[in-house]
Amino acid sequence: MTFKITVVLRISGRIDAEHLGELRACVLKHGPRVVLDLGEVQLVDVAAVRFLTRCDAADMELRNCARYIREWMDRERPGAERGDNVADKTTMKPAFRTADGVRIRYAEAGRGAGETVVLTCPWPESLFAFRKVWGRLAQRFHVIAIDLPGFGRSDRRLDLYAPKAMGAFLVKLINEWQLGPVHLVGPDVGTSAQLWAAATNPKLVRSLVIGGGAMALPLQTGGALKTIIEAPNMDWVTDSAQTLGPVYDAIPGGTPPEIKADYLTSYAGDRFAESARYVRSYPVELPLLAKILPTITTPVLLMSGANDELVPLVNAEFLHERLPNSRMGMLQAGHFAWEEVSDQYADGLVEWIGGGYRRLSLQEES
């Protein structure tokens, strides 16, 4: 058994230049997994902000960081003084933060702008799956992309590898990070988790954009996904890079080397086989979710690839027939629609979150 120790440094009062030497020494002493808890910090100067900006860029978690400090940090990042704010929004800048005791990798942009949108990573990718739509969304909305626990680079917790438990986790994250109400975007594995979140806490969820995740009963999946769900175990996965590399290479348009490297690192070692616990729970979990689908009144856009061979169209049709406030928005693409036809995917998100979800609700009421 392997134990990972995280050291939390709680800082209070004022942080200025004269304190940074001692703070750097503490950070160096405890290593890269240190967490800086800034919940009781009342005042900072520019030297402190620049130090925190470097910590954030090094993937150190800044817990309970005040909004004014975050905004000041954004202004201090390279390129901010040159007026590169619009260009900045098109680049995802990962950081780490805790939710429900789990260290979560996330990216955030567009603070204070319009609706809040939370995107959850598809499997077996990471939050960088949304890199092509990020700029469009950040110009209109407050957007946060996360690697779900056990997916991407987020830490794992075995009890969360199931849709209902993951839905409960999303509710806790929204509450702890004080984001709600939000629009949830959850292709692939996010579909079932986000439906649970909307079912149990409808006031926190303004709308859902889901699809590409198995939902039909009896199960209707194909290819490698069907094999993974039905296999007696995952012992046959001995080299995740050999298993997943061809998947990323086959995505239409290709996967840039740095993004492919992130995906492969995200599921290195036993992380791919272990993350498969989530989809392998479907035979038990999905019938429970299917029973409550008619009670979910949250507006839902079903947007995924109409030519998906892993999760066929029948899964979206299954949901559309049972969700009382849903709309079909299928795209001419395969499974990785958010990457294959990213412009169309972004168009759908902007139209829906920008007001389409309200119009659907009005149509249902009339």
**CATH number, domain containing residue 146:** 3.40.50.1820
Q: What residues contact 274, with CB distance under 8 A and at least 6 apart?
A: 150, 156, 158, 161
- Could you tell me which residue, 34 or 130, shows the higher pLDDT? 130
Scan for tokens 């990042």, then name that residue. Answer: 77
Instruction: Mark whether 159 and 199 lie in a shared domain.
Output: yes
Kindly state the tokens that stand for 56. 């954030």
Residue 39: its H or E element: strand 35-44
Side-by-side strand order, sheet with 116-120? 95-99, 102-109, 142-146, 116-120, 182-187, 205-211, 300-302, 326-328
Which pLDDT value is given to residue 81?
45
Which pLDDT value is given to residue 32?
58
User: In the chain, pLDDT over 70 holds for what percent of residues?
Assistant: 92
Q: What is the domain count for the chain?
A: 2
| Interstrand relation of 182-187 and 116-120 (parallel, antiparallel or unpaired) | parallel
pLDDT, tens digit, 9 for 90 and up, residues 296-335: 999 999 999 999 999 999 999 999 999 999 999 999 999 9
- Could you tell me which residue, 145 or 5, shows the higher pLDDT? 145
**CATH number, domain containing residue 40:** 3.30.750.24
Which pLDDT value is given to residue 89?
47
Q: Is the pLDDT of residue 5 over 90?
A: no
User: In the chain, pLDDT over 90 holds for what percent of residues?
Assistant: 69
Q: Is the pLDDT of residue 85 over 60?
A: no
Instruction: Look at residue 267 and give its three-state secondary structure.
Output: coil
Final residue in a domain of this structure, among 38, 55, 77? 77
Final residue in a domain of this structure, among 77, 99, 128? 77
Mean pLDDT of 41-62: 82
Taking every pair of C-alpha atoms in the chain, what is the biggest distance, in angstroms?
64
Instruction: Mark whether 281 and 316 lie in a shared domain.
Output: yes
Instruction: Mark whether 32 and 139 lie in a shared domain.
Output: no
| Interstrand relation of 300-302 and 326-328 (parallel, antiparallel or unpaired) | parallel
pLDDT, tens digit, 9 for 90 and up, residues 259-301: 999 999 999 999 999 999 999 999 999 999 999 999 999 999 9
Is 112 within 8 Å of 141 (Cβ atoms)?
A: no
Instruction: Mark whether 41 and 125 lie in a shared domain.
Output: no
Q: Write the Ramachandran bin of 128: left for phi over 0, alpha for psi from -120 to 50, otherwise beta.
A: alpha
**Least confident segment among 46-50, 115-119, 194-198, 256-260:** 46-50
Instruction: Mark whether 187 and 124 lie in a shared domain.
Output: yes
Q: Is the pLDDT of residue 28 over 80?
A: no
- Residue 83's pLDDT band, with cuts at 50, 70 and 90, is very low
Mean pLDDT of 80-96: 61
Instruction: Mark whether 18 and 67 lie in a shared domain.
Output: yes
Q: In sequence order, what are the beta bridge partners of 182?
A: 205
Scan for tokens 């890269």, then name that residue. Answer: 32
Q: Is the pLDDT of residue 80 over 80?
A: no
- CA atoms of 122 and 145, how far apart (whole Å): 11
- Residue 31's pLDDT band, with cuts at 50, 70 and 90, is low
Give whichever of 59-63, 66-70, 256-260, 359-363 has the largest mean pLDDT: 256-260
Which pLDDT value is given to residue 203?
96
Mean pLDDT of 208-222: 98
Q: What string of DSSP letters covers 46-67?
A: HHHHHHHHHHHHTT-EEET--H
**Domain span holding position 168:** 84-365
Which pLDDT value is given to residue 235?
93
Instruction: Mark whether 314 and 338 lie in a shared domain.
Output: yes
Instruction: Mark whether 64 and 97 lie in a shared domain.
Output: no
- CA atoms of 126 and 66, how far apart (whole Å): 27
Instruction: Look at residue 313 and give its three-state secondary structure.
Output: coil
User: What's the chain's average pLDDT?
Assistant: 90
Instruction: Mark whether 88 and 6 lie in a shared domain.
Output: no
Q: Is the pLDDT of residue 88 over 60?
A: no
- CA atoms of 46 and 52, how far apart (whole Å): 10
The model's pTM: 0.77
Q: Is the pLDDT of residue 87 over 50?
A: no
Instruction: Mark whether 17 and 95 lie in a shared domain.
Output: no
CA distances from 145 to 119, 229, 268, 309, 312 (A): 5, 26, 21, 26, 25
Final residue in a domain of this structure, among 44, 77, 110? 77
Mean pLDDT of 99-108: 97
Instruction: Look at residue 43 and give its three-state secondary structure.
Output: strand
Kindly state the tokens that stand for 134. 């990020």
Which pLDDT value is given to residue 30?
73
Instruction: Mark whether 354 and 229 lie in a shared domain.
Output: yes
Instruction: Mark whether 204 and 228 lie in a shared domain.
Output: yes
Helix 342-351 / helix 131-140 crossing angle, nearest 10 deg: 30
Q: Is the pLDDT of residue 250 over 80?
A: yes
Q: Say which DSSP state 151 is in.
A: S
